[in-house]
Each structure stands twice: as structure tokens, then as C-alpha cells.
Amino acid sequence: MKNALNTDLNLLVAFDALMAERSVTEAGKRIGLAQPSMSNALTRLRALFDDELFVRTPHGMIPTPVATDAAEHVRAAILAAEEAINVGSQFDPQSYNGEITLLTHDLIELTVVPSVVRALEQRAPGIRLRTRGMLGAEFAADLDADRAELALCGARNVPKRFHYRVLCDETFAGIARFDHPIVQRPVTMDDFLSAKHAGLSPRSGGKGVIDTLLEKQGLSRDVAVTVSSFAAIPPLVIETNVIAVLPRRLAAKADKELPVRMFDLPFDVPIVQSKLIWGKGADRSPVSSWFRHLVAEIATSSDS
């Protein structure tokens, strides 16, 4: 068995960065090493583990089974070292400098992130926030590889290895141009189905929530345009005759700030739960813990 006392423990920090970034250059930036120094660290890691560890592919560096098996142990060792160094000290958000990555989608970027940034400006001005888009259950791979501290999304199934907290229930509402005939009276099912719609491309493929629900009732709507982002829908509604269904928080925001009117749907839509998800490493990090509580505080008060 190899003795840790004879090992340069900085190599484990380099290994952890490589697992997170899957790139020698980006891993070097993450821990402040120039590309030649990072390449040298990888060479030494391969000798230490007696394994290739990371294989170059057209899609980036892929970890070998040895690297994958070692990753959790290395991350735990680094976190344990950080906890030991910080025994007796408390996290001070006002003096902390660093970057935090939040995995989410454009609904959260439009409704929650601006409030988070305002809070950071006041409470933790040294924190730089990075948001990254995600599809379906992609959050699992990013949290496992420590490429993000948190995920905020509507995932239905969260793997048992993660912690999560339900923040709020997401409901839906319609929006139409403020002078559209459909919003001059309560919207009926006939009104809804006869109108032209702007739809959102489902991230996972197939049909979205609304079209799936209508299909179960033997109904369908006339989707005149399909876009890839929630942000693209309000301009379409303002400038054309299409109507749209949005999460109620975003519909209410549009109703308040834009020349559109929100209306109740003439049928029931299943509630989607917004969840804040994090891994074991983030559970032990005082920075991640503080940020997690901040996001939860803001998200639970942002459903208007």
C-alpha cells in the first residue's frame, strides 16, 4: 500500500480539478496552475495511480474506471482537510471571495437569479455566481463531479445519493397580448383550443406537459411556433396573435412588467415541485451551505 506521507498532496487537488473540468487547461485555471504545470501534475498522477486516469476524446477527457473509483475518496479527503483547517472559524460571507455554480434553467434565471444577485451584492460581494443550463437529470453528473454546488430544477426523481429540499409548487397560467380578444372574458376550453399558441420545446424530447395533458383527453392545440427558451415567448405574445402557457411565476412577472394579460387555464395542470438539490460534498461546505440557504430564502418568496 502506498504511503500518503510520501505523496505530494497537491496532486490530489489537481486530480479533483481534472475530474471536475475534464480539461487540463480548465483544471489549471480552476486551481491557479499554468497549463505546463497542470500537464506535469497529470503525468505524476498517472505514475502515482499506475493508470492513464483520463483518456482524451473528441468530446473532452474521459475518466477511466480507476479515476472514477478514486474520485469520491479524493473529494472526501480534500473536504476533510478543509474542515480541519477551518476548525474554530466561521464563514464570513462579507469577506469571502470565490465562485459558486448553480445548475438551473431559464425560468429560474428569469425569476430567481436577479434577486439572488441583488442579495449577493449586499451580503457577499466577493462571490461570483455562474449559472449553467441543464437538461433533465444532467444535474447528477455535474454534482457528482463537483462542477456545481447546487441544482435548482423541477426534477421528479432525485437519486438517493443527493440531498434535496422542496422549495415551492409550480403551477401554470396563460398569457396573451393585453388587447387580445381571448382575455376580454373568462377563457373557455373552446377559446383556448381555437387560438394559435407559442410552445416550448421539451428539453427531454417528446411532448410537453400541456400537450400531453390535452392528448389524454383526446384534444390538441394549434401550436404555431415552438421556441427553445421561456424568454422568447413574451415578445412573441406581445407582437403577434399567439397565446402561451407559462409557469405562473413567469406569467405573473410578464403581466406586471409587459403589455400582456395573464389568464387562468380552463383545465387543471399537475403541479411541478421546484427542488434545490446538492451532493454530500456541498452538504459539508460552509460556503455551499450558506448559499443554499440564501437561494432557498429567495426562491420560496419568488412565486408571485
Give the model's confidence band at 30: pLDDT under 50 very low, under 70 low, under 90 confident, else very high: confident
CA distances in angstroms from 53 to 46, 74, 270, listed in the order given: 6, 13, 45
CA distance 263 to 258: 14
Among 72-76, 147-151, 210-214, which stretch is predicted with the lowest mean pLDDT?
A: 72-76
Average pLDDT of the segment spanning 79-95 = 69
Entry pTM:
0.63
Residue 197 has a pLDDT of 97
Which triple of cell numbers denotes residue 177? 397580448
- Would the pLDDT of 89 be above 70? no
Average pLDDT of the segment spanning 92-106 = 91
- Would the pLDDT of 303 be above 50? no
Residues with Cβ within 8 Å of residue 101, at least 6 apart in sequence: 130, 131, 132, 147, 148, 149, 150
Which triple of cell numbers denotes residue 219? 384534444
- Strand pairing category for 196-200 and 222-227: parallel
Average pLDDT of the segment spanning 251-275 = 92
The helix (run of H) or strand (run of E) holding residue 98 is strand 98-104
Q: What is the per-residue pLDDT across 155-170, written as a single tens digit (0 to 9) for each?
A: 878 888 888 888 878 8
- Would the pLDDT of 29 be above 80? yes
Query: Beta partners for 275?
Result: 153, 166
Residues with Cβ within 8 Å of residue 304, at least 6 apart in sequence: 249, 252
